[in-house]
């Protein structure tokens, strides 16, 4: 080993130690865990809803919708989110451990390494690095499936169904930009079919972190031609107005959408929350729920068995606030109770495909894939031609096969 190489290694090691030690020595305390912070924000939001209700800024129905949405966000958090981060190890011990890292690395390499082994060709190392890990079957399955699909699309670039499946797969993995790119290709192949263009617009919003970009806005305008997905397009177009400061027109558009939608539509709670936000920004008095939807104040008038769409009641939200300040077991019990309410309602309304879909997502959040599989199976039975539901069922089935059976609650 040449002197120059030794000097380079020593320099790199010193630089690494500096990069590790300086932030540690300058640290003043670990930040709160992300989920714990989010819980604190949600609790403040619940308190703000109660204050707005007391002041008359929000009506009873709007306050109920706001509480329900906050409860849904609490449900999406991990069951351990109420726990606080443990105290860090003593600073001195951490410094010593970092300083010993180079020594430990040399000792381990001396025992297990092969300094005399010749270097492998770059192509061989690259091929080995891209092979899926055998000890990570979940990552292997999804990554391999997407890679195989991409290879098929290279051979058949005009396969619209393949591009749609790739787009949904990338979105499910959290690769929003890749999903948006796939949807753009699918939109072109479909002749800019309204429903596909709408999916492309939503993927662009996800890729932009929730911002309705000009391209997404144009996509939603095109997607208005599809009656089934038009409510989604109208919602996002109003959101774009809100984001550009046109709160008055956004409020008008959301109120019109609420009036045109069934009282028990899955998006009504979200619309009521958006209407309340826009109303508050404009400093207007909150209208009664019936002003935006004649049957919103009494959803059972349109559907006697509709209930509240499986959203948590005011009592459930109050229990959520108390549970999040208590033990993780209490928080999990609260979440289980809300999911149980939805499951019980679906037994009375077995034809609610959106409800079964929400129940499946809830069980996946709770890490109960076997129950999620059953819920998604009911949804697929009601809507067998929906590829997104079929993909969700497949993912839940795969997760259930790899998860040990849980004892009954």
> How far, in Å, CA of 220 to CA of 298, rounded?
31
What is the rounded CA–CA span in Å between residue 298 and residue 293? 10
Residue with tokens 């890679």: 147
Closest CA to 286 of 108, 48, 57: 57
DSSP string for residues in 270-285: HHHHHHHHHHHHHTPP
Where among 227, 244, 261 does a domain terminate? 244
Q: 299: helix, coil or strand?
A: helix
Neighbours of 43 (CB within 10 A): 17
Given 244, 259, 275, the domain boundary residue is: 244
The greatest distance separating any two alpha carbons of the chain, rounded to the nearest whole angstrom, comes to 85
Q: How many domains does the chain have?
A: 2
In a domain, 96, yes or no: yes
Q: Are residues 177 and 236 in the same domain?
A: yes
**CB proximity list for 206: less than 8 A, separation 6 or greater:** 171, 176, 179, 180
What is the extent of the structural domain holding 42?
Answer: 3-112
Quick count: other Cβ atoms within 10 Å of Cβ 125? 11
105 with 144, same domain? no
Q: Report if residue 73 sits inside a domain.
A: yes
Gap between the Cα atoms of 186 and 181, Å rounded? 9
CB 165 within 8 A of CB 179: no
CA distance 127 to 129: 5
Question: Interior CA angle at 180 toward 177 and 184, to 5°?
Answer: 140
- The CA-based dihedral angle spanning residues 25, 28, 34, 38, taken in that order and rounded to the nearest 10 degrees: -170
pTM summary value: 0.41
Same domain assignment for residues 155 and 217? yes
Q: What is the DSSP letter of 261?
A: S
User: Among residues 357, 377, 373, which one has the least CA distance to residue 310?
Assistant: 357
Dist. CA 197–CA 215, nearest whole Å: 11
Q: Does the residue 31 lie in any domain? A: yes
Residue 53 placed within a domain:
yes
Instruction: Give, for all 409 residues of the chain, the pLDDT tens digit.
Output: 556 655 666 677 777 777 776 776 665 444 445 666 677 787 888 888 788 778 877 778 887 888 888 887 777 765 545 444 455 556 667 667 667 777 777 677 666 665 555 555 544 444 444 444 444 454 456 778 888 889 999 999 998 988 998 888 888 788 889 999 999 999 999 999 998 999 999 999 988 888 899 999 999 999 998 888 889 899 999 999 999 999 999 999 999 999 998 887 777 888 888 898 888 888 875 554 444 444 333 333 333 323 333 333 233 333 334 433 444 554 556 567 677 878 888 888 889 888 898 888 888 877 888 898 999 999 999 988 887 888 888 888 887 777 665 544 4
């Amino acid at each position: 080993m040449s002197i120059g190489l030794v000097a380079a290694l020593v320099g790199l090691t010193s630089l690494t130690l500096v990069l590790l030690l300086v932030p540690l020595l300058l640290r003043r305390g670990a930040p709160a865990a992300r989920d714990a912070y989010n819980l604190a924000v949600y609790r403040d939001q619940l308190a703000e809803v109660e204050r707005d209700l007391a002041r008359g800024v929000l009506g009873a129905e709007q306050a109920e919708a706001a509480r329900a949405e906050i409860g849904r966000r609490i449900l999406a958090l991990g069951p351990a989110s109420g726990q606080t981060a443990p105290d860090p190890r003593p600073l001195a011990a951490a410094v010593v451990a970092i300083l010993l890292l180079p020594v430990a690395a040399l000792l381990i390499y001396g025992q297990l390494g092969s300094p005399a082994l010749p270097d492998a060709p770059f192509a061989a190392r690259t091929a080995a690095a891209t092979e899926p890990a055998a000890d990570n079957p979940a990552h292997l399955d999804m990554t391999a499936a997407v890679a195989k699909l991409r290879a098929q699309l290279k051979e058949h670039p005009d396969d619209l169904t393949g591009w749609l499946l790739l787009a949904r797969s990338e979105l499910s993995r959290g690769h929003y930009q890749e999903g948006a790119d796939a949807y753009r290709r699918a939109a072109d192949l479909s002749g800019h079919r309204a429903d596909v263009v709408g999916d492309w617009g939503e993927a662009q919003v996800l890729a932009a972190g929730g911002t309705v970009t000009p391209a997404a806005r144009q996509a939603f305008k095109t997607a208005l031609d599809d009656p089934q997905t038009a409510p989604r397009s109208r919602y996002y177009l109003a959101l774009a107005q809100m984001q550009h400061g046109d709160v008055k027109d956004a409020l008008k558009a959301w109120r019109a959408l609420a009036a045109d939608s069934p009282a028990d539509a899955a998006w009504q709670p979200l619309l009521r929350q958006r209407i309340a936000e826009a109303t508050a920004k404009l400093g207007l008095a909150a209208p009664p729920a019936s002003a935006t939807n004649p049957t919103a104040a009494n959803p059972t008038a349109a559907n006697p068995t509709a209930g509240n769409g499986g959203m948590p009641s005011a009592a459930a939200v109050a229990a959520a606030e108390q549970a999040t300040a208590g033990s993780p077991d209490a928080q999990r019990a609260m979440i289980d109770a809300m999911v149980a309410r939805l499951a019980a309602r679906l037994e009375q309304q077995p034809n609610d495909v959106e409800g079964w879909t929400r129940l499946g997502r809830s069980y996946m959040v709770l890490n109960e894939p076997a129950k999620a599989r059953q819920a998604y199976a009911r949804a697929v039975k009601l809507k067998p031609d929906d590829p997104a539901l079929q993909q969700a069922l497949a993912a839940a089935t795969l997760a259930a096969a790899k998860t040990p059976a849980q004892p009954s609650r």
